[in-house]
Amino acid sequence: MESRYTFGGDEHVFCEVDTEMSLEAFFKSLSMTNAVRESQIRGVTEICPANASFQIKFDPDIIKPDDMLAEIKKLEVQAENAESSMDTRIVEVPVLYNDPWTHETLMRFRERHQDPSGTDLDYSARINGYGSVDDFIAAHSGSPWFVSMVGFVAGLPFLYQTVEREKQIEVPKYLRPRTDTPKLTVGYGGCFSCIYSVRGAGGYQMFGVTPMPIFDPQQQINYLRDFMIFFKPGDLVKFSPIDRDTYDAAVEAVEANEYEPKIRDVRFSLDEFNADITACNAKLEGALK
């Protein structure tokens, strides 16, 4: 698809890279926003990358909207020819699936769900063709996920599964949003997983919780002292199922400010991924061992 540009008033340019999410669209969007950042176009005040699109905010007193659009279009050719690989990091995120807190919450809002008779995990496993919740959890945690966007709520990462398209998990959001979601809930909506950075309203299916904080506006948590938001677009995530004892021990480590996320530097190549997805994922996951 050819990129589609629109103006948002006289201070924003919005670019839709593609109408559907794909790693190719994500790479192009990320390359273009990186190029805008590196080119230091006068007047740019904010760069907002998204899943398969991005938005640039600028000061129209410094650069006219048409001139801003022309500068971005120049960078599109550069982005299309950019190397389809990146140096990034993979992070292991422990998850207590089927935990008591999301279970209590989802039961309170059952009338807003497609299947009030079961749980979010029951429903998600069934509509994706898995024989059991355990099989579904194994699929959700069985391959890495790309952080394709951070936002909507401060620090919340949108995560895109690195598997063949026909194997991707897809689950609709609740029929009506909840007014409550536990902090650090691992959720799912459409083709995206996410981690709720704070407690609040939400409509994604709830699968579990992680003990690992990902947002700290006070920047008191040891690994968030440099920046209050943990994730950034291009990060890779590997969910790791844990039991209640392991979860409780991790929470104690967080409270003592001694918790350290498991992070490894990796290089991701889109060409290698498309050539052999299984081998590429095994290589990425091997970095965490």
- Does position 83 have pLDDT exceeding 70, yes or no? no
Helix (H) or strand (E) holding 122: helix 120-127
Task: Please state the three-class secondary structure of 155-193 as a single string.
Answer: CCEEEEECCCHHHCCCECCCCCCECCCCCCEEEEEECEE
| Residue 21, pLDDT score | 87
Residue % of the chain over a pLDDT of 70: 99
Residue 217 burial class via C-beta count within 10 angstroms: exposed 0-12, middle 13-18, buried 19 and up: exposed
Measured CA to CA in angstroms, residue 27 lies from 51, 53, 121, 194 at distances of 9, 10, 31, 19
| Residue 120, pLDDT score | 98
| Residue 78, pLDDT score | 77
Q: Any idea which fold 4-82 has?
A: Gyrase A; domain 2 (3.30.1360)
pLDDT tens-digit map of 217-256:
999 999 999 999 999 999 999 999 999 999 999 999 999 9
- Does position 80 have pLDDT exceeding 80, yes or no? no
- For residue 43, give both structure tokens: 């007047």
Q: Any idea which fold 87-286 has?
A: Cyclophilin (2.40.100)
| Residue 185, pLDDT score | 98
| Residue 45, pLDDT score | 97
Q: How many CB atoms lie within 10 A of CB 191?
A: 17
Q: Please count the residues of the chain.
A: 289
pLDDT band at 76 (very low <50, low <70, confident <90, very high): confident
Please state the pTM of the whole predicted model.
Answer: 0.92
pLDDT tens-digit map of 12-69:
999 999 988 888 888 888 889 989 999 999 999 999 988 899 999 999 999 999 999 9
Torsion (CA) 164, 167, 169, 172 in degrees, nearest 10: 100
Per-domain boundaries in the chain: 4-82, 87-286
Which residues have a Cβ under 8 Å from the Cβ of 14 and sit 6 or more positions away? 5, 6, 7, 8, 53, 54, 55
Residue % of the chain over a pLDDT of 90: 87
- Does position 1 have pLDDT exceeding 80, yes or no? no
- Does position 82 have pLDDT exceeding 80, yes or no? no
Average pLDDT, the chain: 95
pLDDT tens-digit map of 191-206:
999 999 999 999 999 9
- Does position 84 have pLDDT exceeding 90, yes or no? no
- Long-range pairs for 143-146 at CB < 8 Å and ≥24 separation? 143/281, 143/285, 144/90, 144/236, 144/237, 144/238, 144/281, 144/284, 144/285, 145/193, 145/236, 145/237, 145/238, 145/239, 146/23, 146/26, 146/234, 146/235, 146/236, 146/237
- Least confident stretch, 16-30, 89-103, 141-155: 16-30
Residue bearing tokens 């355990």: 134
- For residue 162, give both structure tokens: 């690195």
Q: How far, in Å, CA of 115 to CA of 124, rounded?
A: 10
